[in-house]
A and B are shown apart, each in its own frame.
Chain A
Amino acid sequence: MKESHTGTSSGVLEGRRVEGMVVRRIERELYEVFIGPQHPGSGHMRIIVRLDGDIIVEADPDIGYVHRTMEKLSEVREWLKPIPLLERMTIIDACNVTLPYVNALEKLMDKKPPPRASYLRVLLCEINRVASHLYGFGIFGVFLGHSTMYMWAFGDREVFVELAEILTGARLTHTYHIPGGVRRDMPQDFPQMARRAVRYMRRRLEEYRKIFLENPVIVKRLEGVGVISRNLAADLGIVGPNVRASGIRYDVRLVEPYEVYDELEFEVPVFEEGDALARTWVRVEEIKQSLNIIEQAVDWLERHKGEVIPKEDYERLPKLHKEVYEKTGRVKLLPAHATMKVPAGKAVARGEMGRGEIIYYVESDGGTTPYRVRVVTPSARNAIVFKYVVPGHRLMDLPAIYGSIDYFPPEADR
């Protein structure tokens, strides 16, 4: 509806001049802007925003452009095959994204990995967490037009991607866990490489602070933008660094420790401000904590020897497989693993990814394929922020909020 535009700040209202009074008629016409689905930085999604001037009055996240039927496909594949499938949701965080699925299987099968396997899992999880946060920083740099941050973060992420490659054999899609253990032991010279990467990253974070986090331009764009209060965060059910930036101390590694997180020393950084800047700081502090955990894990792994698969699985291996395992630390799976049956039951398992909590519901009817796999990823739960937090901001704040919640469409769409 086009309104007649007679009144302005000159104080003229419908032809009648009002002395001493400044009148401005509210512009009723809203503009609808379709942002996306072209790749806005981190994957295909669309946000339909309605604008009054440049103020967003309504935002509708239209997601699903990269939906890949993960839940349906998991039902028609044998138990092990969803592992390499599900990690495609977030190849940059492939260890964290599939670990709860494996944990749910282990709950159903009453299997427990040996301590060495648990430490190796945690080690890879933390390497992935650093890489995931750095990826998020890089994308954030793109959103804010800060190309240095983009270059630096992606360059430094490569250090951790290579660590993961040395440990697992694959840069991104590691498929490292198998029910009851891991696929491969750590190479002997790995601890030195890991410690070097940790030293390097600690120094780099100091430089990130100077060029990005305390950069006056960046601070102006992030401070007080996209504020999520403590109660709103709980009401929307958002996860990960976003909820911890709003004063809620919630990290699955802390509230329901899985693997060996209860044996490790780390802090869960919490900020009270709830704005985009606080969310960014949480991630920086988390990288520091992950570096501490990486050090502790390699220290432990150096001091303790042991198996990476359960004893009963090892004994079942034929002679040749045993030889390969003893010599190279690689576990070659038997065909029986692919067609294994899982006792009937329902299990829920969860873990803390770089972007937040991931939860799996796995149901078995005792067959060779899952009866139902439900996965809710952190980005799927964070998508609601676009609808309820973005309105009221200027259009230019949208990329800042998008980047600060580290939303990743392929992970949200599953």
Chain B
Amino acid sequence: MNLEEVVELIRGALGDLAKEITVRKGYVEVVVNPGDVVTAATKLKELGFDHVKSVTAVDYPKESRIRVTYHVSSYLRDDLARVIVGLSVDLSRENPVMDSLVGVWRSSEFQEREVYEFFGVVFKGHPDLRPLLLIPELAEKRVLRKDFIVREESIYEGVPHRYQ
């Protein structure tokens, strides 16, 4: 199945739900409204997109939004196996809340926890929303957002003055 056919297939399945369908390098990006994400995900799953490969968030502080993308593909339908679809929603940066897709794709469970700890995105209806990799104190700082700056340390930083 080539990319144009995939775009047509998705457009047919999602109809007006898809605000924007773009062919990117290596995947097809579909943007939907945050309120429609569960419906859109269910329709994609019915098409045969049965697992989530990656849940990504990207922070755009200038536009005050966070884009969450689910890269999904298919194990059980051969013609969709080589296709990756990125189901995306834009959330406000101040209050990023969206419906969890664990009910649709169980494979997103751990990765939604990751997006929660690194970006502070709250997934409503997630069965077990708590930090996965980070300790809670660090997760509070939302370290993958752009305003968390990684500072270069000098090699003597933290060493008592008398040793320097």
Q: Which residues of A contact B131 (CB under 8 A)?
A: 64
Do A345 and B144 contact each other (CB < 8 Å), given the known contacts A64-B132, A233-B75, A237-B53? Answer: no
Contact, CB under 8 Å: B24 / A345: yes
10 CB < 8 A contacts A-B: A64-B133, A233-B75, A234-B51, A234-B76, A237-B105, A255-B82, A346-B29, A361-B69, A361-B71, A372-B59
A contact set with B: CB distance below 8 Å: 63-64, 67, 69, 71-73, 76, 104, 107-108, 230-231, 233-237, 243, 248, 250, 255-256, 345-350, 357, 359, 361, 363, 371-372, 374, 376, 380-381, 383-384, 388, 413-414
Report which of A72, A237, A348, A380 forms a contact with B150, defined as CB distance below 8 A. A72
Do A347 and B134 contact each other (CB < 8 Å), given the known contacts A237-B53, A255-B82? Answer: no
B106 within 8 A of A: yes
Contact, CB under 8 Å: B26 / A107: yes
Report which of A345, A359, A383 forms a contact with B71, defined as CB distance below 8 A. A359
**Quick one: which of A235, A236, A361, A384 has the most chain B CB within 10 A?**
A361
Q: Which residues of B contact A233 (CB under 8 A)?
A: 75
Assembled-state Cα–Cα distance A7/B29 (Å):
61
Contact, CB under 8 Å: A346 / B25: yes
Quote the shortest CB–CB distance from B106 to chain A (angstroms).
Answer: 5
B contact set with A: CB distance below 8 Å: 24-27, 29, 50-54, 56, 58-59, 69, 71, 75-76, 81-82, 84, 86, 105-111, 118, 131-135, 143-144, 148, 150
Q: Which residues of A contact B144 (CB under 8 A)?
A: 71-72
Assembled-state Cα–Cα distance A71/B81 (Å):
27
Assembled-state Cα–Cα distance A67/B111 (Å):
14
Quote the shortest CB–CB distance from B4 to chain A (angstroms).
Answer: 17
Contact, CB under 8 Å: B143 / A69: yes
Dominant SS at the A interface?
A: mixed
Contact, CB under 8 Å: A384 / B150: no
Contact, CB under 8 Å: A108 / B25: yes
Assembled-state Cα–Cα distance A235/B50 (Å):
7
Q: Which residues of A contact B132 (CB under 8 A)?
A: 63-64
Do A235 and B143 contact each other (CB < 8 Å), given the known contacts A345-B25, A361-B69? Answer: no
Report which of A243, A346, A357 forms a contact with B24, defined as CB distance below 8 A. A346
Contact, CB under 8 Å: B110 / A67: no
Quote the shortest CB–CB distance from B41 to chain A (angstroms).
Answer: 14
Assembled-state Cα–Cα distance A237/B111 (Å):
11
Q: Which residues of B contact A250 (CB under 8 A)?
A: 75, 81
Assembled-state Cα–Cα distance A69/B133 (Å):
10
Quote the shortest CB–CB distance from A250 to chain B (angstroms).
Answer: 6
Report which of B53, B59, B107, B135 forms a contact with A384, defined as CB distance below 8 A. B107
Quote the shortest CB–CB distance from B91 to chain A (angstroms).
Answer: 16
Q: Which residues of B contact A348 (CB under 8 A)?
A: 24-27, 71, 84, 86
